Structure 1
Amino acid sequence: MTGLVVVGAGGFARETAQAVRDSGAFELLGHLDDNPGLHGTDVDGVPVLGGTDLVHELPGAQVVVCVGNPRDYAARARLVRRFGLPEERYATVVHPTAVVSATSRIGAGSVLLAHCVLTAAVRVGAHVAVMPHVVLTHDDVIEDFATLTSGVRLGGGVRLERGAYIGSGALVREGTTVGAWSQIGMGSSVLADVPPGEVWVGSPARRLREAGAPALDALATETPNAPVGGPLT
């Protein structure tokens, strides 16, 4: 069985580690985290082996990067860029209770947690985080580094551009696009296209402000559809 390391030791990383255990698809080797206070400890019974650069000293291990939070949801992209690993080093983790249709596709490094559903012809890029009870319906396209937190529902034909962050319980109307590195607040209802690099909240969702500096930096330094998981159509 192939070994796997989870980069990060926060909430998302811990949930992913448990999904790995539940799936039985990999041998879970441990967490890698740059907090030296965690090195040599156990998190939920999973050892923290050391800092993130240990990925280069474990060439036989698969990797999944599970970092980021609402204040810095570009962290996953920065780490992947820093590592410079080939795509085949990255694992795709799917919880056994997730429902993925035969016509849907999931990119390298992405994580689907418990009870999420991909109904028909859904395209999920690389390094995408899909939290529990997310529903992605027909023809949705989720680009690289997007984050969908728990309870998100997308109508058919929605496109989440690179790095978009969708807060818990948000609803996105069919045929709508959320721009690159934009953030949708929890519980919001998105009824119209959202431009890149903005924060929208409310029901119906409206512009609140520009996204935070980490997201704007990612938007400024990355080319659209940069080739991490390849173009999604």
Structure 2
Amino acid sequence: MKDLIIVGAGGFGRELLQWIKDINKVNKTWTIKGFIDDNSNALADLQCDYEVIGSIKKWEPNYNEVYACAIANPGIKENIVALLKSKGASFESIIHPKAIIGDHNRIGEGLIAYPNSCITANVVIGDFVTLLSSGIGHDAKVGDYSTISSYCDITGGVKIGKRVFLGSHVTIVPGRKIGDDAFLGAGSVVVTHIKEKTKVMGNPAKKILF
């Protein structure tokens, strides 16, 4: 059985720890070793079953270790994954038992799927996508390193680029395209295509500067 290390000891990391423990309750899959984080005090004054066992920058992977990525920011996620993979790290997909994964989907490496998340039919999911408790409709596509927060509605045929961040309660109407590195603020209702590197918010979603 492989040793599992969670990359990132923030709130996302502690949530991911719970989902890993839930998976182990159903089928003992990993031996959890703890977190790596460049902030050694990330868990200070917090109740947690495991500790920060080292920094990300200095960590040297062991042959029996696998990793789960708990970094929400898409750009930072990509950089950290690249760093660890350059040292030989291997990443796991963490799919909660209460996630729904339909047939005939293509799913990349390192998916994180929270409880009550849903990937329906003929969906393409890139590498290191983070899917909180949200649904992805038929024929949609989500690019590498994108993060979809909870209670989002990604409807049929939507195309989401690489390194896109969706805040909670985002709705994207069918067939819309979201460019690489876009940021969709919480509660946005997207009715048009969104260009790359654009930040939007509102109903209907409009470009914002911040």
Name the TM-score, length of structure 2 as normaliser: 0.90
Distance 1:186 1:54 in 2: 35
Contact 1:40–1:50 under 8 Å retained in 2 = no
Distance 2:117 2:126 in 1: 16
The match for 2:18 is 18
| Percent identity between the two aligned chains | 25
- Matched to 1:52, the amino acid is I
User: Cα 1:193–1:167, aligned 2, differ >3 Å: closer, same or farther?
Assistant: same
| Equivalent residue pairs, number | 206
Determine helix, strand or coil for the equivalent of 1:156. coil
- Matched to 2:39, the amino acid is N
Q: Larger deviation: 53-62 or 20-29?
A: 53-62
- Matched to 2:63, the amino acid is P
The match for 1:78 is 79
Q: Quote the offset at 1:197 in angstroms.
A: 0.3
User: Cα 1:49–1:42, aligned 2, differ >3 Å: closer, same or farther?
Assistant: farther
Distance 1:115 1:35 in 2: 31
Is 1:60 matched with 2:60? no
Contact 2:101–2:120 under 8 Å retained in 1 = yes
Contact 2:61–2:87 under 8 Å retained in 1 = no
- Matched to 1:93, the amino acid is I
Q: Runs (4+) of structure 1 moved beyond 6 Å?
A: 39-42
The match for 1:115 is 116
User: Cα 1:174–1:114, aligned 2, differ >3 Å: closer, same or farther?
Assistant: same
- How do 1:21-32 and structure 2 match up within 5 A? 21-24=21-24, 25-32=29-36
User: Cα 1:43–1:61, aligned 2, differ >3 Å: closer, same or farther?
Assistant: farther
Q: Gaps spanning 5+ residues in structure 1: where? A: 213-233
Distance 1:50 1:74 in 2: 22
Determine helix, strand or coil for the equivalent of 1:9. coil
Q: Quote the offset at 1:125 in angstroms.
A: 1.1
Determine helix, strand or coil for the equivalent of 1:138. coil
Name the TM-score, length of structure 1 as normaliser: 0.82
- Matched to 2:48, the amino acid is D
Is 1:145 matched with 2:142? no
Is 1:179 matched with 2:183? no
**Higher helix fraction (1 or 2):** 1
Q: Quote the offset at 1:54 in angstroms.
A: 5.6
- Matched to 1:147, the amino acid is T
Determine helix, strand or coil for the equivalent of 1:102. coil
User: Cα 1:61–1:189, aligned 2, differ >3 Å: closer, same or farther?
Assistant: same
